[in-house]
Structure 1
């Protein structure tokens, strides 16, 4: 299997690259500055034939196009799985009545617009994999924050920009799933759990290793499952 993983410099993206390489998969690991991603470089050095690192800024079309060109050279037969993991939830995390246009725009730019742009750019390589007889899947790393029902039930009003961006990502994912269904390119919307990362904090309930060990089992099931599923790291359905 041939994977492209965005946001690979740390957290669950880094752990995805590590575990995929350990089980023998080919991985193109992308992030804005691979040369500064020390832990990612260590994985690449440990698995030089399996792990390839390339720069990708998901909110720069020029960077996206250059990344696709690089991946075409590395994986000329196409990619079987695109994992859209890159996202931000930097402060401020304002409530609805206090959120600025800048805060909303920044989070939507990365979490929705950038993800859509990356997916569109890599579609030809996913289609190439299908033409060569391999399955092709798009994994959208979302969150329980994208669930309207869970937000309503919780009574929370903070972090409106992040929550709206993840709900928007879920809608974009459904749109891709509907459009690509006839080509048998599956889309999975994934909540990886509350994970001990820079974004999730050390108070989170899952380590990256625990999350990704379970997540990979779910990802492996995608080719034989229904498209447009919204599930957690254990494969359990999430409420929309």
Structure 2
């Protein structure tokens, strides 16, 4: 599922020789625009991830495929408001996009992941409750904490499926979500994220890791 970081990850995995099925809300060129040299290893599928109907349709289109890795990357940020100033509609939109929809996607598509495969989600240090020691972005932080908790519940419910399960903090990146003042670019951080995915493959259980393969406090 592609954002700026998702596109960079799809490109990086294709560069490493993976065959990648990338979903995008865009029509037309989609992810191939960012994968010039590797486009033959990159397929594009259209998906609005907040739509259960579109998720189900994607599952049907991929019914005969098997995945080594299912990676979900989806998030929005609606600004730096204290929680008492957040409209109900905004709260609902952010929680549906950042927490509910990624787990719906995983539950819908997990049957495509081969035994020993990996199910991973792009999370954030912002979702760490113990590291929440600075003011700001309360709704975004809450949505990422909810994502982490839902992924923990998912891992508990599917503890015996043998899948590697990962929550990954890629660092603060210069994306539409992270802003232009962020210290990292996806080109700097995403190869390290790919390293984590490859290094953790075949290790069952849930881990919350940063791009340096270090645990992030819950």
TM-score, normalised on structure 2?
Answer: 0.93
Q: Could you say which residue in structure 2 is the equivalent of 1:60?
A: 51
Q: Could you say which residue in structure 1 is the equivalent of 2:127?
A: 146
How is 1:35-184 mapped onto 2 (pairs within 5 angstroms)?
A: 35=28, 37=30, 40-43=31-34, 46-72=37-63, 76-89=64-77, 91-126=78-113, 129-130=114-115, 135-151=116-132, 153-154=133-134, 156=135, 158-184=136-162
Q: Which runs of 5+ in 1 are unaligned?
A: 1-5
How is 1:212-223 mapped onto 2 (pairs within 5 angstroms)?
A: 212-223=190-201
Q: Could you say which residue in structure 2 is the equivalent of 1:31?
A: 24
Q: Could you say which residue in structure 2 is the equivalent of 1:12?
A: 5
2:21 pairs with 1:21: no
Measured after TM superposition, the shift of residue 65 of structure 1 is: 1.2
Q: Could you say which residue in structure 1 is the equivalent of 2:208?
A: 230
CA displacement 1:10-49 (0-9 Å, x = unmatched): 4110100111111110111101124263xx2324664343
Measured after TM superposition, the shift of residue 98 of structure 1 is: 1.2
Alignment: residue pair count:
218
CA displacement 1:156-204 (0-9 Å, x = unmatched): 1x32221111000000111121222211012111111001111111211
Q: 1:205 to 1:48 in 2, by over 3 A?
A: closer
Q: Which runs of 5+ in 2 are unaligned?
A: none
Does structure 1 retain, via aligned residues, the 8 Å contact 2:124–2:170? yes
Q: Distance in 2 between matches of 1:77 and 1:17?
A: 18
Measured after TM superposition, the shift of residue 71 of structure 1 is: 2.4
Does structure 1 retain, via aligned residues, the 8 Å contact 2:10–2:22? yes
Q: Could you say which residue in structure 2 is the equivalent of 1:3?
A: none
Does structure 1 retain, via aligned residues, the 8 Å contact 2:165–2:207? yes
SS in 1 for 2:187: helix
